Structure 1
Amino acid sequence: MAINLQKGQTIDLRKNDKGESVYDLSQVTIGLGWDVRQKQSGFLGKLFGGKEEEYDLDAIAFLLDSNGKVANLGRTVQTQNGRHVGLYEGDVIFFNSMKHPSGHIWLTGDNRTGAGDGDDEQIIVKLDQLDQRYQKILFVVSIYQGREKNQHFGMVENAFIRAVDARGKEIAKYSLSGDATMNGKCSMVFSEVYRHNGEWKFRAIGEPYNTDNFVDILKNYTYQ
């Protein structure tokens, strides 16, 4: 049975709550889901067909070395429309660089609405094959253009991050619903997976940030 985590709680990813090694970590899915709190629609909203805003929550992963830093920040490339995109093919997995060069961790896609049940975004990682130089993976969630659109985690409910093993068994889940303490917070360090004595651990963090740009958080984890 999956473990529902509290903020700050840590578990062993391979073992269940009885200490039995039951989970297959050859491929682990880190799934993110959320709902947007529905606004109370008055008469005018109904009359003019008021439409709920879309919230674009982005899942990001930082691959950290033994010093807790991102060693490879990738490179800058020019896209077909002439834009310059940084952090490409480095140790940061995000919407502009969705697959790590090793092939052992990747982002499946970008869901812009949070509509529907289940995971809205997924990062998949082959933990058993991940190079030893990676000691920790930090999972960050940011609301795209949250500051500009006045969108924040206080407006998000039923947000969760969960770990599912290669056989589809849910290992752990950390749920977080927005409240007044989350007002104005546009990014969240949701959780981390890290090595400890040869085993992989999963820790629920839930640390909010004002910024809607994950690069501001990344600066805390670089050598530069």
Structure 2
Amino acid sequence: MGISLVKGGNLSLTKAAPGLTKVLVGLGWDARTTTGDKFDLDASALGCAASGTVVSNDYFIFFNQTRSPEGAIEHLGDNRTGEGAGDDEVVAVDLSSAPAQLDKVVFLASIYDAETTGITFGQVRNAYIRVVNAADNSELARYDLSEDASIETAMVFGELYRNGADWKFRAIGQGYSSGLAGIAKDYGVNL
């Protein structure tokens, strides 16, 4: 079991797992059973430069663009139902092949077609993000999002970031009522 983080908390991954070269970042969630509405959440990753914006649009990783140019960030598949135990969607990050300009990787989830369906994160429960050492499948860090996000349609769950030679993970839990487009705009993605 990894370190359980609170919002804003961080952990040095390279100190927790010396020799760490690749992580799997799992995002999970369940639909609230009270509404009965079916919906699809999509995990995405944004590869950012030191400026805080994406290196380029090629670093907006999601179900239609699953790999960064050098393959350091890879989305491992779209789960359209969120059903079943464990991670619903996973993004692999190869820290050893991350280019020098890649300063951080931001992980988010958005509700697909939220504008039409009216679904918000208020109808999502048990949302979490976790970081796993790909070498031995040991969980290094976990953040359970417990806040009620009644109007948000997208949420930044957490981020991996460089701190000198180390890689760290920070729990964020920042909701956006402007959906994926709002997050993309804040991080410099041209949609």
TM-score (norm 1): 0.79
Contact residue 155 and residue 178 of structure 1 kept, 8 A:
no
| 1:72-99 deviation line (CA, Å, top 9, x unaligned) | 12xxxxxxxxxxxxxxxx1110111011
Q: Summarize the alignment of residues 16-165 of structure 1 with structure 2, pairs less than 5 Å apart.
A: 16=16, 22=17, 24-39=19-34, 52-73=36-57, 90-165=58-133
Counterparts of 2:110 and 2:41 in 1: how far apart (Å)?
A: 6
Aligned-partner residue type, residue 11 of structure 1: L
Unaligned runs of 5+ in 1: 17-21, 41-51, 74-89
What RMSD over aligned residues (CA atoms) do the two structures have, in Å?
1.7
| 1:116-171 deviation line (CA, Å, top 9, x unaligned) | 00000000010122111100111111011123212111111111000000210100
Counterparts of 2:26 and 2:46 in 1: how far apart (Å)?
A: 15
Deviation at 1:108, TM superposition (A): 0.8
- Counterparts in 2 of 1:178 and 1:145: CA distance versus 1, 3 Å: farther
Deviation at 1:24, TM superposition (A): 4.9
How many aligned residue pairs are there? 189
Unaligned runs of 5+ in 2: none
1:217 aligned to which of 175, 178, 183: 183
Counterparts of 2:85 and 2:100 in 1: how far apart (Å)?
A: 35
Q: Summarize the alignment of residues 4-23 of structure 1 with structure 2, pairs less than 5 Å apart.
A: 4-16=4-16, 22=17
